[in-house]
Amino acid sequence: MAKIDPADEAQLFATIDRWVAREVAPRVKEFDHADKWPAEIVEQMKELGLFGATVSPEYGGLGLPATTYAQIVMKISSVWMAITGIFNSHLMLALAVEKFGTEPQKRHWLPKFASGEVRGGLALTEPNAGTDLQAIRMTARRDKGDYVINGTKTWISNGIEGSCFALLVKTNPEASPRYSGMSLFIAPKGPGFTVGRKLEKLGYHSIDSGELVFQDYRIPADHLIGEAEGRGFTQVAGGLELGRINVAARGVGIAEGALRLATDYAQIRQTFGKPIIEHQAIATKIGEMATRARAARLLTLDAAQAFDRGDRCDMQAGMAKYFASEAALENSTESMRIHGAYGYSKEYDIERLYRDAPLTCIGEGTNEMQKLIIARQWARQSGSV
């Protein structure tokens, strides 16, 4: 299991704090409002090693434990959640290769992913299939030493700026059960693989969400992760625990950021001769927000610690993801209300957190699905199933 010396961890956190304060915070409005790709910030993320944060050192990464990684995501997300998606989704691609790839696949791809030289993400969702992933229609047909892929993916983070994706397809569309006909490929951009369009969004700006179109896209058979057909769905599921801890950490960041903005504002803004934090109606909101943010943080660290111990943690990760994302939504809404009219202004930061928060309830499995997963696992552990 990945470990880090506490002194090294403290130094890493200090570096991230400095970077966020000096480089990210002053520029976030400019990028977010223009929905502009933050090229300079991405270069700095490369230097910080974020594209290899959870990749093992033997393949050029930092090999961080999930607990350390989650706290980095929280720190960045408390100021600008969207940019964590640029390396979070990319690390899901790297995880699939490291966990399920062959040794030659790991040696070839992981150092490039870890350095950020090749960046990308996870391409699962299709226009007709998100939650019900087994309903995807994209096919890969074997043709001698290659596979020929046809279909469309949508909502793919880093889809435009990224150059390589873990691509979920059906190698046997007739298979029963459906998941047994699914396979996962390492798919670099090339002939037959084009970007359909950039999707416009409520929030989560500056990170590109794209529709990806595959028309007779041909890749060598050695791009099949693990070089065995029929394992794609299980391989994707194998990354979900860390993926959900990622999203939970983003939710914690937003919940804490919204709380900080509300607390600062409530101490400055005066009505009826005193700061609004001295009115009980506002103080109780701050009390609730602080409790939600703390509970979200503890649930997320609990899941990350279980992950680092190598324990099965789908229930803990689901609880953390569900609770932290709802905390992000509630805290950003409450913080906006505390800001009064200024909360509705684009000059203040809270409007961005308010627009970014809902995504955490959708990504890596909607919260509706998280509750079903939690209930199933809870019942199993309680011995009722």
Ligand X SMILES: Cc1cc2nc3c(=O)[nH]c(=O)nc-3n(C[C@H](O)[C@H](O)[C@H](O)COP(=O)(O)OP(=O)(O)OC[C@H]3O[C@@H](n4cnc5c(N)ncnc54)[C@H](O)[C@@H]3O)c2cc1C
- Choices 45-53, 217-225, 311-319, 361-369; region in contact with ligand X by CB under 6 A: 361-369
Give residues 151-210 in contact with ligand X (rule: CB under 6 A). Answer: 155-157, 201, 204, 209
**Residue 225 engages ligand X in binding (rule: CB under 6 A):** no
- Please identify which of the residues 98, 326, 364, 368 carries the catalytic annotation: 364
CB atoms within 10 A of CB 40: 10
Judged by beta carbon, residue 25 or residue 369, the one nearer ligand X is 369
Give the integer Cα–Cα distance in Å for 332 and 342: 13
Contact 186, 62 (CB under 8 A): no
With 0-12 / 13-18 / 19 or more C-beta atoms within 10 angstroms meaning exposed / middle / buried, residue 26 is exposed
Contact 229, 305 (CB under 8 A): no
Length reported for the chain: 385
* Min separation Cβ 358 and ligand X, Å: 9
Please give the sequence-ordered ranges of beta strands (E in DSSP) within the chain, or none if there are none: 120-123, 139-143, 146-157, 164-170, 182-188, 193-198, 209-220, 270-271, 274-275
- Choices 3-11, 42-50, 262-270, 360-368; region in contact with ligand X by CB under 6 A: 360-368
**Residue 246 engages ligand X in binding (rule: CB under 6 A):** no
Judged by beta carbon, residue 275 or residue 358, the one nearer ligand X is 358
The three-point CA angle 320-322-324 to 5° equals: 60
**Residue 262 engages ligand X in binding (rule: CB under 6 A):** no
Contact 204, 82 (CB under 8 A): yes
Binding mask 34-73 for ligand X (x = CB under 6 A): ----------------------------------------
**Residue 325 engages ligand X in binding (rule: CB under 6 A):** no
Both tokens of residue 299? 């649930």
* Min separation Cβ 127 and ligand X, Å: 8
Q: Among residues 121, 181, 239, 257, which is the contact residue for ligand X, using CB under 6 A?
A: 121
**Residue 115 engages ligand X in binding (rule: CB under 6 A):** no
Q: Verify whether residue 334 is a known catalytic residue.
A: no
Judged by beta carbon, residue 134 or residue 366, the one nearer ligand X is 366
Active site members = 364
